[in-house]
Amino acid sequence: MSEHVLTRIANRTGIITLDRPKALNSLSLDMVRALTAILLDWQLDAAVDAVVITSSSEKALCAGGDIRFFHEVGNASPQDGSALLEDFFTEEYALNHLIHFYPKPYIALMDGVVMGGGMGIAQGGPDCALRIVTERTKMAMPEVNIGLFPDVGGSHFLSHAPGQLGMFLGLTGLTIGAADALYVGLADVFVPGADLAALQALIEATPGADLQAAIRALASQHAGESELQANRACIDAHFGADSVAAIMASLEGDDTPFAQKALRAMRLRSPLMMCVTRELLLRGASLDVADCLRLERSLVRRNFEHGEVLEGVRALVIDKDNAPQWNPPSLDLVTDAMVARFFAPVWPVHAHPLRHLA
């Protein structure tokens, strides 16, 4: 078990508390393994009727995977630990699948930062999830900012968002708050920070089998005005274009602050990974959760082979020069063949590391 994953059972509810505050609960391999073991155990435990995942810090539920670890082992030889990178993504995506199809209510308190891998452990499926946001929620799938793509099931939950909202979030990597999360369908209820003490007391006092209903009665489905809702026509018009280049050209012709903010963000992202992300979301719209995760697992291997994420993490996290040398450096140099290479199968079907997912 990981020292950063704390557990207890209260009134037939299993409570998981992430406790790595200095790293905003960024997921290590040990944390992924601990979460998996806990959830596998509790799904068969007759003493547990529901699960709550929360944090010891109000700053974040989880800021994502441990990208410093990605950089370290991504540059290592197998003898120096690079095989751990393969383990991390295989086991993380299997955990995401377990959470999506969890057989008991799975309640995520998405207070503070919830990004990347944090979304993967918060986005339970429709049959089990209750996703709570607060006014402190800062939600994003920002992977294109570090030369990656929206993974941890993002190819499924972004591609199934209404209209072009998922494409907007995947290509820009921009952060949204509670009202937008509710509008996109990435959260279910809103609990203001002032009511979190009452929420915690409710969790302690309510039998697990009744907990989701009790939280819905306490919470609200309205968290103020959604910027995405106000700009929905703009998003659908621009992000429905037939290529990343066409999307950016469309945004260039729109002088509204919202469109220009999206354009500025995209100009900083990896040109190649924006194109890969667009193709991934188009494919994900017709795939089930398991096939989305299998596709993402192959793309991760291709990404590290290419090295884009290693350069992105170097520039933004390691050296902090904020000047990634993307390969290729501009959108006009990205070819269809480059994108297609990411989608070429890595393993035969019978040997895929996530072949057991159903």
Active site residues: 65, 117, 143, 151
| Residues 6+ positions from 32 with CB-CB distance below 8 Å | 88, 91, 92, 95
- Output Rg (C-alpha) for the chain, integer angstroms: 20
Show the tokens assigned to 60. 């974040």
β 50-55/13-18 pair status: parallel
Can you tell me whether residue 140 is helix, strand or coil? strand
β 113-115/138-140 pair status: parallel
Is 95:36 a contact under the CB 8 Å cutoff? yes
Instruction: Please give the DSSP secondary-structure letter assigned to residue 167.
Output: H
Phi then psi dihedrals of residue 357, to 5 deg = -70, 140
Can you tell me whether residue 165 is helix, strand or coil? helix
Query: How far is the C-alpha of 211 from the C-alpha of 223, rounded, in Å?
Result: 21
Is 56:21 a contact under the CB 8 Å cutoff? yes
Within the chain, how many helices (H) and strands (E) appear? 17, 9
β 13-18/60-62 pair status: unpaired
